[in-house]
Each structure stands twice: as structure tokens, then as C-alpha cells.
Chain A
Amino acid sequence: MKLSDLHPEGTRETIGTVIFTAEDIIHFAEKFDPQPFHLDAELARQSLFGGLCASGWHTCAGWMKCFVPYWLGEIKRLAKEGVVAPKLGPSPGFRDMRWLRPVFAGDTITYFVTFVAAKDLESRPGWRINTIFCEGENQDGQPVIRFESKVIEFP
């Protein structure tokens, strides 16, 4: 089964939830994004963000943290129905990423994926490149992140 058969164009799936604790935000930022507003609540209050908030890359990684178990669940769910799930390979990248609102310490982010389109790869028979739309919103239903990603699918 192809990804495009599994999820008709425009179907939005909820893939999971991540709670961004102050501890996790600071831990990620110390390693990858040591800017004051990701490290220190007091300094963050003086920034444009107004409070301790997650690195945008941490918010992105949260999407992947949800997608991997979601997809494993889909593989199992389909297997029970006797359907072989498409094999998904590495992504060549993403575009139009917008960090729409800060993810503050204590926020709970729910992530979504929407299947957008698929294209056959002319160079490799049976391989396809899928375009997916990825989103996250906070506990108040406000969007915090969105981006368009590519996923390779192979036989």
C-alpha cells in the first residue's frame, strides 16, 4: 500500500503530544542553542519572547519524537488488517518552517501530520517522494509551529 492510498490528500492525523518542561528546555538549549531566553527565566522575561521558551529546533524535534512511534503504531495497526505499510526512508529536508509562537516552559504541544502529495521518482522505479504538512499547537489550541516536509517511500 502506498502512503497516498493510506491517507487521502488533506487528511490531518494527530500524532502525539510533548510536554515542554523548563528542565527539558534548558537541557536542549545548553547543548544546541545556548541563548539567554532558552536558558534563564529572568533573562527570558527581558527578551521579546517574555518568558523561558524552547529552542525552535527543540519544537521541531518534538514533532519527530511523536512521528516515529505514531508510524510504528500505524505499521502494527495495518498489519492486523493484513496490509503492508509503506516503507518510509530518510527525508531530504523541509521548507517554509514558521515558529509562530514561543513554546513556553510548561506548555503541552500536540503535533499533527497532513498528507499533501506524492510524486514518483523517475530515477528509481517504485520510489516516491511524499510531501507532508506538519504542525504543532499548544494547550490553548494556538499554532506554534508549521512546516512542509518531504518523505521518501520505497518498495
Chain B
Amino acid sequence: MLHFEDFPAGRRFEFKPVEVKAEEVIAFASEFDPQPMHLSEDGGKASILGGLAASGWHTSAMMMRMLCDSYIREAASEGSPGVDSMEWKKAVLAGDTLSGNCTVVEARVSRSRPEIGIVRLRAVVNNQRGETVAICDYANMIRCQPAGETA
């Protein structure tokens, strides 16, 4: 189990590549963001995105899954207070393969709850051409190593 002490500034976690499937783009959009460019290839081609494109919220959710699989599920994570910024830099199209990484920017112990650390990270999501499609600066609350235990 990873604790706060395992997140020094500069530590990086790599994302496993994930394919963006057309049916998943459409399923997410049907439920949360039913705009034409997220619902069909034709709708996407008619938009400035150039093809069936994932909702930015879907890209965010896929990034969250990559974060979970890269470190959160192994960590004593207690959720997040928020996201300082999310940039959707390029269209994520059906058939793209996303990968990337997240890097610890800053880590400090919570002033109000000394058993919790607040870790600030930057996640970068890239496509198969090496283009960055999303950049996210966010915070993660992670429990400190319990006293008396060694890492």
C-alpha cells in the first residue's frame, strides 16, 4: 500500500495504453453529453473536431481510470478536493489510443488533519501520435504511514 510518504515531488506513474472505442464514446455521450459530434461519425465530421469525438467529460473520466490503474488503487487514497485546471487540448477521436503519465508536483501534510497528506499532481494524456490531448492539475488526499510502521 502506498502512503503519503511514497509521493515525493518528481515521482512519476505511467498510464497503460487504452483504446478509445466508438461504442463507448457514444454510450458516454448518450448518457451525459448528447451532442452530434459525440454521437456519430457524421456528426463529428461536420464539427470542428473532425470525427466522432469523445466528450471532454468522457476524456476526463478515462483519465481518472488511468490514474486509478496507475497508482490510486494501490494507494491509501481518500479522494480529491478538486482540480485546479483541466485543458482539453486536442480532440480525442474514436480509435485513438490514449496513454500518458502523472507526476507529483508538490506534497504536504494537511494542517487540519495531520494523518492526511495532500499531494498535487499533473496528469498528461497523450494520443498514439504523441500529441498531448489533455493536461490536468489536481490534488489527491493520501493517508500518511501509520505511526510505528515502516514503509
| A and B: bona fide binding partners | yes
Q: Select from chain A the residue with minimum beta-carbon distance to B66.
A: A32
Question: Are A64 and B79 in contact, with the CB atoms below 8 A?
Answer: no
**B62 neighbours in A (Cβ, 8 Å):** 32
Q: Select from chain A the residue with minimum beta-carbon distance to B138.
A: A97
Question: Are B84 and A57 in contact, with the CB atoms below 8 A?
Answer: no
Q: Mark B6-38, 1 if CB is under 8 A from A, else 0.
A: 000000000000000000000000011111010
Contact of A32 among B49, B64, B88, B116 (CB under 8 A): B64
**B73 neighbours in A (Cβ, 8 Å):** 34-35
Given A65-B32, A90-B48, A60–B85 Cβ distance below 8 Å?
A: no
Question: Are A32 and B79 in contact, with the CB atoms below 8 A?
Answer: no
**B72 neighbours in A (Cβ, 8 Å):** 35
Given A33-B65, A34-B73, A99–B37 Cβ distance below 8 Å?
A: no
Given A35-B73, A48-B141, A61-B57, A68–B64 Cβ distance below 8 Å?
A: no
Question: Are A93 and B56 in contact, with the CB atoms below 8 A?
Answer: yes
Question: Are B88 and A92 in contact, with the CB atoms below 8 A?
Answer: yes
Mostly, the B contact residues are mixed
Please classify how large the interface on chain B is, using the bins under 10, 10 to 19, 20 to 34, 35 or more.
35 or more
**B146 neighbours in A (Cβ, 8 Å):** none
Question: Are A95 and B84 in contact, with the CB atoms below 8 A?
Answer: yes
Question: Are B57 and A64 in contact, with the CB atoms below 8 A?
Answer: yes
- Number of A interface residues at 8 Å Cβ cutoff, please give it: 31
Q: Select from chain A the residue with minimum beta-carbon distance to B58.
A: A61
Question: Are B85 and A99 in contact, with the CB atoms below 8 A?
Answer: no
* Most chain B C-beta atoms within 10 Å of own C-beta, residue among A55, A89, A94: A94
**A31 neighbours in B (Cβ, 8 Å):** 61, 65
Given A33-B68, A95-B85, 12 extra CB contacts under 8 A: A35-B68, A35-B73, A55-B61, A57-B57, A64-B57, A90-B47, A90-B53, A92-B89, A94-B85, A94-B86, A96-B82, A99-B79
